[in-house]
Amino acid sequence: MPKNSQGDDKGAPAQPPALDPFVHGSMVIVTLGNPRDKFWGMILSLAPEGLSLSGIELASFEDLVVMVKDGESFSPAVVFFPMHRIERVELDLPDGNLPSLSQRFSAKTGLHPTALLESPSAGDRGASVRPPVLRKKEPI
């Protein structure tokens, strides 16, 4: 029986729907089992079957920062993890005085990670992603 938007059949007020923080574009850290691994990246999609992510292995984070700072090209992994391998998905958020990985990436490179991970070429296998070059606008 569908619930009334005014409340349930016992007269309790209806709860507003919770916002889902795990949507396309959310930066997350994924802990996997069998084999144990961690990934950092941006959610492409989340379904009962599994999680699609554009990102890197967490162990490669510092190397990625150096590559981007130096203007080198890199190819983020576009991967699908079946749900049975996923142990934990957590939002990439700061923890007290500790910045999130996304904040650390932005502070060291001057770029937001989603700008690189969501790039059209990020989905092309073997394609390289270069940070955009900022140029002053010329007067017309």
Predicted confidence pLDDT, tens digits, the chain (140 residues) = 444 545 455 555 556 666 789 999 999 999 999 899 999 999 999 999 999 999 999 999 999 999 999 988 888 899 999 999 999 999 999 999 999 999 999 999 999 999 888 855 543 433 333 333 334 444 54
* Confidence at residue 12, expressed as pLDDT on a 0 to 100 scale: 56
Distance CA 3, CA 115 (A): 41
* Confidence at residue 123, expressed as pLDDT on a 0 to 100 scale: 37
SS3 content of the chain, % helix, strand, coil (to 5): 25, 30, 45
Residue 90 lies in a domain: yes
Residue 101 lies in a domain: yes
* Confidence at residue 132, expressed as pLDDT on a 0 to 100 scale: 39
Residue 135 lies in a domain: no
Print burial letters for 61-83: b (CB count within 10 Å at least 16), e (below 16): beebbeebeeeeebebebbebee
**pTM, entire model:** 0.71
Domain hosting 62: range is 27-121
* Confidence at residue 19, expressed as pLDDT on a 0 to 100 scale: 79
CATH of the domain at 93: 2.30.30
Residue 103 lies in a domain: yes
Residue 46 lies in a domain: yes
Q: Is the peptide bond before 13 cis (omega within 30 degrees of 0)?
A: no
Burial (CB < 10 A; 0-12, 13-18, 19+), residue 48, is exposed
Count of structural domains, the chain: 1
Residue 17 lies in a domain: no
* Confidence at residue 90, expressed as pLDDT on a 0 to 100 scale: 97
Distance CA 35, CA 38 (A): 10
Residue 15 lies in a domain: no
**CA-based end-to-end distance of the chain:** 64
Residue 12 lies in a domain: no
